[in-house]
Structure 1
Amino acid sequence: MSIIDRYTAGAARPRGWSHSLAFFLTFACLVLLLLAGFIRHTRAETAPVPAGLVTLGDIESGALLFKSTEPGKYVPAPLLATDVKIDVSGPIARARVTQRFINPGDGWVEGKYIFPLPEDSAVDTLKMVIGDRVIEGKIKEKEEARQIYEEAKADGKKASLVEQQRPNVFTNSVANIGPGETIVVQIEYLQTARRDGDTFSLRFPMVVAPRYTPKEANPQFVDFEPGSSGWGDVLPPERDDTLEQPPVLRPEMGNVNPVSLKVSLDAGFPLGDVASPHHEVMIERDGKRAATIALKDELVPANKDFELTWKPAATKAPTAALFRERVGKEDYLLVMLTPPSGDVQPEAKPREAIFVIDNSGSMSGPSMDQAKESLLWALDRLKPGDTFNVIRFDDTLTVLFPDAVPAHGENLAVAKKFVKGLEANGGTEMLPALRAALTDRRSGNEDRVRQVVFLTDGAITNERELFSEITSNLGRSRLFTVGIGSAPNSYFMTRASEAGRGTFTHIGNEQQVVERMSELFEKLGNPVMTDIIATWPDSRTTESWPNPVPDLYKGEPVVLSARMPEAKGTLTLKGEVAGEPWEVRMSLDKGEPRPGIGKLWARRKIEQLEADARIEGDWERNDKAITAVALEHHLVSRLTSLVAVDVTPTRPDGEKLTSKDMPVNLPEGWDYDKVFGEQTIPASQRAQMKQGVMAFASYAPAPPPQADAGGLQPVSLSLPQTATDAPALIHSGILALLVGMALSALWWLRRHWSATAWARRAR
């Protein structure tokens, strides 16, 4: 008789015991079967994968993963943390940018990070820290530096290479970062603070915004050799000047590349207001002239530019500054002079104002709102005698009126309705809009001042083509650029306004619209400071930049850099301010000694040589001069790079090296789908930008602080660890689920057996 038969037959002693035994045996069998299946599943899940590749189950902390060619397997991307220290002394700033490259995976990697710096930065220092050793970077011609780096990478040596793509866009490549290893790279640069009236400002860009590349064929040329009998060969395309762009993460996937930042400010005069328009900061005053500024949050995502502004106390700001540096057998000078605005203002001429507004996809969100609000504000400030027109562009173009029309009520109403209805979408085909704005139907008319106000984020790659258009077809127009958004292309905006003999204004948020547009319209409505001539003691041995001195607007200082055998004698500046003659003299031997003036001079000279090459088209002659200046002053340029190489190979022979670009954040306020929509960017470029896949969007914890290495103190960033021991928790959860299912099944069987036994006894 079976246990069940005896139970249902009502046997005295075995009934309770047989029920417990059945329950125990059934439970044990089910658990063993489930555990066996679970173990097989776990073993299959953790099967060995190729070196350097991981599965999602392998990840035990926050990691950024790239898809590999093998399904379900990923390459852990190197992570990045950045610390910025900026020391401001008078109008001169020296910044130290520490980039900590972290390899969270178990393979060897090469990390490549594309990052922005101020467009006037003179990058002169590269240091690579490995343990307690510091390796100084050397300046080389670009191709030579690249070759040195590639050879070191192939030999398994740690190496770093800093290259310039644009004056405000750089790349840092770091080779042979070992499993779980961190390499610290420090970059230093010099720049001058900007002055506008009584306000001084400094910007540190944090993210390279995605740039639109116009859809044009790369031209090729046919070469006809002498005696070719009419047959020629098609030459390969000229050097590709497109901007290399990093993959961009979708905002909902989180942020990468955390940044800490601190500024030590010594203004040289009593400080008044100190503020940061786009970040919350803590300000500690140190006496009347100095302050320390730090981010309120220890770490912020690298998704918008940092800006610092400061003003003098109740008294007016100093009108002149003179600094000098002796390098070798020569003196270098930096002169900053703010002319008075003049008590008597001549009657301003009526203007022909051409407003150009960018409504491409990159302007979507707050940027579009800021641009529209700025333009509506400008339309309200036009005077009855003015004329105007409005041009909008994305990858199409609309010119509102056939020609500039009088600024009266009906025309303004049509324009305002047009502006309010604009939406951001499409590509950024800027060149046709610029050509339309510079088309002047009354080029000989001197009764009006023709001013082009260009509102855009400048998110394009064909800057050289646009500069050429400005210098070739500016005519009597003056170009005023208004940079919109959290991360504008300040290099393009600044150089375009300089080439257009206008000014650059940045509007980073809606709170700045009225203030910044008011300042711009005050400049537009006031006569320029014209015909400025700088006369040096010995013009034959003095080399100064810019040359000639450009026209200036109200509140803007004359900024000159000069090199001469000895700083002595008197500098004389002459010009007209508000129609009145103006002259000032300055003794050159009174300059305050300050390091870095020579490098700032060299940077200004390189800028001038680049501008001359764009205008003259003689790149070969100017390139030789640029290379010579950059090598002499140890500066990164379009033609020179900094490279640092460790002498000892660290990557074992046979170990594979994986190379990946490090993703960047989308600038704050940008709409990812508008920027990377199917109709926005060519497929090849879109694929390049989307190559980064975020599996876990979080920061890895920073390794322990390193000791001081040769006077260099690598920063230790305490990054939040947002992940858990995922595999252990997943396995525990599955096991708990299986046990729960087994207990539920046994509970049902026991109730079923009990009910059956009760029914039989009842019969």
Structure 2
Amino acid sequence: MMNCCGLLTDKKEPVPLKSIEVQLEVKDHVATVVSTLNYENKEDKPLEAVFVFPLPGDAAVCHFSAQIGQTHIVAEVKEKQQAREEYDDALSSGQQAFLLEESDQSPDIFSLSVGSLPPGESASIRLEYVTELAVQADDGLRFCLPAVLNPRYQPQGSEGPSVQVTSVPASLVPYSLSFSARVSSPRPISKVESNCSLEPLQYLNADQTQATVKLAAGHKFDRDVELLIYYKDAHQPTAVVEAGQASAKPGSLMGDPVVMVSLYPEFPQDVMSSLASCGEFVFLLDRSGSMDCPMNDSTPQETRISSARDTLLLLLKSLPMGCYFNIYSFGSQFEHIFPTSVEYSEKTMEEALKKVEKMQDDLGGTEILLPLKHIYAQPCIPKQPRQLFIFTDGEVGNTKEVTDLVKMNAGTHRCFSFGIGEGASSALINGMAKEGGGHAQFITGTDRMQPKVMQSLRFALQPAVGDISVSWDLPKGVSSTILSPPITAMFQGQRSLIYAQLTGQCSEATDGCVTVKYSLAGHPSQNQLHFNLKPAGDTGLTVHRLAARTVIRCLESESTHIEQEDGEVKKKKVVELSVQSGVSSSFTAFIAVNKDDGKAVQGPLERRNIPTPFYQMCGMATPQFAPMACMVAYSAPMAADYLCSVGEVYDCSNMVEPVIGMAAPRIASADIDFSVYEEMQYGEEEYAAPEFPPPRKDPLLRLVSLQKASGCWLLDADLAAALGKTSEEVEKAKPASVSSEVWASILALIWLHGFKMDAKEEWELLTLKTASWIKAQNAPCVSECVDAGNTLLGCSVKKEDLGI
């Protein structure tokens, strides 16, 4: 074996992408992102560099330009096939050209082609997009710069080509990243956190409404960059009116003012504290090979699948008596624990838990569509609203098919989705929750899955909000056209965004009002927001572009569910709006051609695929896994030879080509089947992940696992051990007049409140069941039991804190 440094292509040629610079500007809950990609051709022949990379699934890409020497070229949005033809024609004639296009399969994958870069030439590509920031359960606004693009599994026999992705382990990406952010808001900025090391937050004014932050020096481009931004009083409703584009036609979306209304409904506390005692809960768990990856570097023994098993334990213990449930799992095929959903009881809960404990990442690829179709085909149980919880690392290639299916069934199924690990598709996770009227969560870095999932279960158990309507009160002469799809779901603390085009003129600056009416637990309620119609002065066209993106996504979805003739009409509307607004779509692309009278590029054009990082966990850094990682790199195709982390180069070209074959030239016509990758990488027979010592049972989960479906605990040796006591100590301290089950249950509550308050979100729901069960026993001497329990366990928990 030879030693060398850096990443090489199959011909040991350097990668022309040298660095990426990202500038983020956050205004309240909207982000503008400017990425500059710097290319340099150090070879002695002209190159075409092709880079397939992820963006947030709901991003509106609105600017694309190139700088070559003193020449600056701004790209235009054109119909996708026309843009491709112009790009190919430019390359054929020796001109420089640049093409940016969205994947046909998933709106969070883009392809950038940099054509005819002469020897010794440099080029800077500027890409700009705007996006809304999602609100997390702890009120933080989440921004994610996706660095990692995991291979997307393309189901066998599916229509359409899969996406060509040139992948390498994230630690071997050969280009650098610099990242800085500027945050401003009407409210003070409390803090900014990240999964990456940051330099200290720098406030720019005394009231702390503006600040800057950037990545610490030495950051490796080996993970998604996630920022969590916290404002004081983050849940205040807001409205921003943005003036139309002066050059656009009045009456068009870009020519008229557009208002963006952000609503945070606040529901009465007495209603929100009454959790539902009915419902059908269907849990769908990804058991593909990639679920064997560790959740993070610091705890390699805790894999995605083991964390999901622990989460299912908490979920099953927290379900209310009288509901129904079932558990599905999927890979290349799917399984279910019960043929149909069953009533929740001690027997069915224990049967399910025994099967959950045995679940492994042994079902091959990631075919999520088949189990979803099966679930949707099952008849719903009367008066038991179905709630679907989907756990996946999001590595699927048919995102649009999946989200369209969820949307078709949104009337009878509410969908909560969870993206596990780096590189989970934001288009898939956010799309399923949005179309299914639920809530999306991402578990990355050192995040624990359990508190985020339990937060979503609390949402699912909250009283359903129905009969939602939006009305506007505007001055005479001004009318509104709603651009957003109807609001189908509202949760406590979750933001709802509404975009509306304002037409007409009012005589002077005045106020408007938007009212959201809804029914909560059978009672009519409403939220109102008054706002000034005078356009804000510093928003650019951000609100218009986000509104255009919203309309484009709706039209794209509609075009796939109607007759072909009507579908072509919808497609034409998408293209027209995309070109008019300068916002990308699945039917358009950005094209820039350097038409300067320079000398044509001479010689045959060499193609260089820029590697995108995938998350290198699952043991692939060890020597025995290096050849398998090479397979991925070559199959895309790109690097059959590259430096693994042990410092050796492996040549896998002869091994892979007969299996996978070569990819077609561009994203639109690529034909790489990542099912081969996933099953070869993670299959049981050829390679197994390195063995870690089994983790010690988490004390919290150990105690929770002993709880009965009714909410009580039994007084036995297992409970005593979980409490850190002997059976004799626990028996001796029990007041004589109380039953063993009541005593055991009070001890469990005291232990949780005394030692695990930092994990309250994980156990709060299941202790509500316990408190209700204790009250139903009409047990004597409860206060005496609490005092005795505190003495035994060394705690000082008050009876009222236990809810009993």
TM over 0.5: yes
Distance 1:441 1:570, change over 3 A: closer
> Which residue pairs with 1:604 in the alignment?
550
> Which residue pairs with 1:357 in the alignment?
285
Give the alignment partner of residue 575 of structure 2, picking from 623, 627, 631.
627
Tell me if structure 2 keeps the 8 A contact 1:599–1:633: yes
What are the equivalent positions in structure 2 for 1:201-220 lying under 5 Å apart? 201-216=142-157, 218=159
SS at match of 1:692: coil
> Which residue pairs with 1:522 in the alignment?
458
Q: Scaled by the length of structure 1, what TM-score is found?
A: 0.73
1:67 pairs with 2:10: yes
Distance 1:157 1:696, change over 3 A: farther
Question: Aligned partners of 1:506 and 1:354: how far apart in 2?
Answer: 19
> Which residue pairs with 2:604 in the alignment?
656
Per-residue deviation, 1:651: 7.1
What are the equivalent positions in structure 2 for 1:428-439 lying under 5 Å apart? 428-439=366-377
Per-residue deviation, 1:642: 1.3
Give the alignment partner of residue 50 of structure 2, picking from 98, 107, 112.
112
Give the alignment partner of residue 94 of structure 2, picking from 142, 153, 156.
156
Higher RCO, 1 vs 2 (CA within 8 Å, ≥6 residues apart):
1
SS at match of 2:257: strand
Question: Aligned partners of 1:89 and 1:489: how far apart in 2?
Answer: 25
> Which residue pairs with 2:309 in the alignment?
372
1:580 pairs with 2:528: no
Question: Aligned partners of 1:671 and 1:649: how far apart in 2?
Answer: 53
1:171 pairs with 2:111: yes
1:693 pairs with 2:611: no
Per-residue deviation, 1:196: 4.2
Q: Write the deviation string for residues 452-488 of structure 1: whole angstroms up to 9, x where unpaired.
A: 1000122111223323432444552211111111111
Bigger mean CA deviation after superposition, 110-119 or 547-556: 547-556
Question: Aligned partners of 2:567 and 2:175: how far apart in 1?
Answer: 37
Per-residue deviation, 1:311: 2.1
Tell me if structure 2 keeps the 8 A contact 1:207–1:665: yes
Distance 1:616 1:496, change over 3 A: farther
SS at match of 2:319: coil
Per-residue deviation, 1:277: 3.4
1:266 pairs with 2:213: no
> Which residue pairs with 1:283 in the alignment?
201
Bigger mean CA deviation after superposition, 195-204 or 334-343: 195-204
Question: Aligned partners of 2:185 and 2:308: how far apart in 1?
Answer: 33
Give the alignment partner of residue 496 of structure 1, picking from 424, 428, 432.
432
> Which residue pairs with 2:799 in the alignment?
none
Give the alignment partner of residue 420 of structure 2, picking from 445, 460, 484.
484
Question: Aligned partners of 1:577 and 1:504: how far apart in 2?
Answer: 22
Question: Aligned partners of 2:173 and 2:354: how far apart in 1?
Answer: 38
1:318 pairs with 2:217: no
Per-residue deviation, 1:391: 0.8
Q: Write the deviation string for residues 394-416 of structure 1: whole angstroms up to 9, x where unpaired.
A: 11211011222333334333333
> Which residue pairs with 2:406 in the alignment?
470
Tell me if structure 1 keeps the 8 A contact 2:147–2:613: no
Code of the residue aligned with 1:276 in structure 2: it is S
Q: Write the deviation string for residues 336-376 of structure 1: whole angstroms up to 9, x where unpaired.
A: 01111213315524121111100102222123344333323
Per-residue deviation, 1:540: 10
SS at match of 1:598: helix
Distance 1:369 1:325, change over 3 A: farther
Per-residue deviation, 1:670: 5.1
Question: Aligned partners of 1:321 and 1:195: how far apart in 2?
Answer: 17
Distance 1:410 1:529, change over 3 A: same
Tell me if structure 2 keeps the 8 A contact 1:482–1:505: yes
Per-residue deviation, 1:75: 4.2
Question: Aligned partners of 1:154 and 1:357: how far apart in 2?
Answer: 49
SS at match of 1:344: helix
Distance 1:149 1:272, change over 3 A: same
1:665 pairs with 2:583: no
Per-residue deviation, 1:82: 1.0
Q: Percent identity over the alignment?
A: 24
Distance 1:383 1:553, change over 3 A: same
Per-residue deviation, 1:424: 2.0
Tell me if structure 2 keeps the 8 A contact 1:63–1:697: no
Tell me if structure 2 keeps the 8 A contact 1:103–1:109: yes
Question: Aligned partners of 1:216 and 1:279: how far apart in 2?
Answer: 43
Question: Aligned partners of 2:359 and 2:176: how far apart in 1?
Answer: 35
Per-residue deviation, 1:295: 1.2
Q: Write the deviation string for residues 493-517 of structure 1: whole angstroms up to 9, x where unpaired.
A: 2122222222211111453323312
Per-residue deviation, 1:652: 5.9
> Which residue pairs with 1:589 in the alignment?
533
Distance 1:176 1:194, change over 3 A: same
Code of the residue aligned with 1:599 in structure 2: it is R
**How large is the RMSD of aligned CA atoms in angstroms?**
3.2
1:334 pairs with 2:260: yes
> Which residue pairs with 2:359 in the alignment?
422
Distance 1:317 1:497, change over 3 A: closer
What are the equivalent positions in structure 2 for 1:296-307 lying under 5 Å apart? 296-301=216-221, 303-307=222-226
1:390 pairs with 2:333: no
Give the alignment partner of residue 507 of structure 1, picking from 421, 443, 457.
443
Code of the residue aligned with 2:38 in structure 1: it is R
Per-residue deviation, 1:449: 2.4
Question: Aligned partners of 2:312 and 2:453: how far apart in 1?
Answer: 9
Question: Aligned partners of 1:577 and 1:263: how far apart in 2?
Answer: 40
Per-residue deviation, 1:598: 1.1
Give the alignment partner of residue 175 of structure 2, picking from 257, 260, 266.
257
SS at match of 2:268: coil
Per-residue deviation, 1:562: 1.2
Distance 1:652 1:158, change over 3 A: closer
Question: Aligned partners of 1:378 and 1:690: how far apart in 2?
Answer: 42
Question: Aligned partners of 2:485 and 2:13: how far apart in 1?
Answer: 52
SS at match of 2:470: strand
> Which residue pairs with 1:724 in the alignment?
none
Aligned length, in residue pairs: 605
Give the alignment partner of residue 247 of structure 1, picking from 150, 153, 166.
166
Bigger mean CA deviation after superposition, 464-473 or 647-656: 647-656
